[in-house]
């Protein structure tokens, strides 16, 4: 047997009563509960009104340019609170000596009696270079295989380009 309180909460009549009560509250909220807005009107201030306007002519002299003190940057005198020590000296920068290029190895081919020729994409242009020849700027094709292209420069530094992968490289500007 269930306790009487739980049985009353689960009864159909209690649920219907709560449901009707919620609808009544909803209706009263929409109709404004029969109330009205307060009547707003202007009232007199308990403080006295100002006797006159502000003297605008005297205020303009306060904000005139010659009334303000000069900043240390506008003077030639030494100031212990302002120094040029931490301002960087602007020196002309040297022109760049290298540029970035984007290479993509596309594969190689070889004829019956000819050398291997590597195909690669330089930016948007497709180039073909023979193994051992100059590819671009100071890069030479050292080896072309099924999976990678080996490029070298006159300083004997090698770069390995995988197949169909964009690779960023720095080359000297000529």
Q: Mind listing the pLDDT tens digit for each residue in 65-121? A: 666 666 655 556 666 776 667 666 677 788 888 889 999 999 999 999 889 999 999
> pTM for the complete prediction?
0.47
Domain boundaries, the chain: 1-32, 98-172
What CA–CA distance (Å, rounded) separates 95 from 89? 18
Among candidates 83, 128, 124, which has minimal Cα distance to 102? 124
| 37-74 residue pLDDT tens | 777 787 777 777 666 666 677 777 767 766 666 665 55
CATH architecture of the domain 98-172 equals Roll (2.30)
158 φ/ψ angles, rounded to the nearest 5 degrees? -105, 150
Residue 134 and residue 68 in contact, taking contact as beta carbons nearer than 8 Å: no
CA dihedral over 108, 114, 115, 119, signed as positive or negative:
negative
Tens of pLDDT along 160-170? Answer: 999 999 999 88
């Amino acid at each position: 047997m269930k306790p009487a309180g739980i049985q009353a909460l689960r009864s159909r009549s209690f649920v219907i009563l709560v449901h009707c009560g919620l609808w009544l509250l909803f209706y009263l909220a929409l109709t404004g509960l029969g109330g009205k807005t307060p009547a707003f009107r202007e009232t007199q201030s308990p403080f006295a009104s100002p006797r006159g306007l502000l003297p605008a002519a005297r205020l303009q002299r306060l904000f005139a340019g010659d009334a303000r003190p000069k900043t240390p940057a506008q003077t030639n005198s030494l100031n212990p609170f302002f120094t040029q020590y931490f301002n960087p000296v602007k020196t002309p920068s040297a022109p760049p000596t290298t540029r970035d290029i984007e290479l993509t190895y596309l594969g190689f081919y070889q004829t019956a009696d000819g050398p291997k020729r590597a195909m690669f994409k330089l930016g948007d242009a497709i180039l073909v270079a023979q193994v051992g020849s100059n590819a671009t700027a100071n890069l030479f094709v050292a080896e072309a295989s099924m999976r990678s292209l080996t490029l070298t420069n006159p300083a004997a530094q090698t770069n390995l380009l995988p197949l169909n992968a964009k690779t960023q490289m720095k080359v000297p500007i000529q």
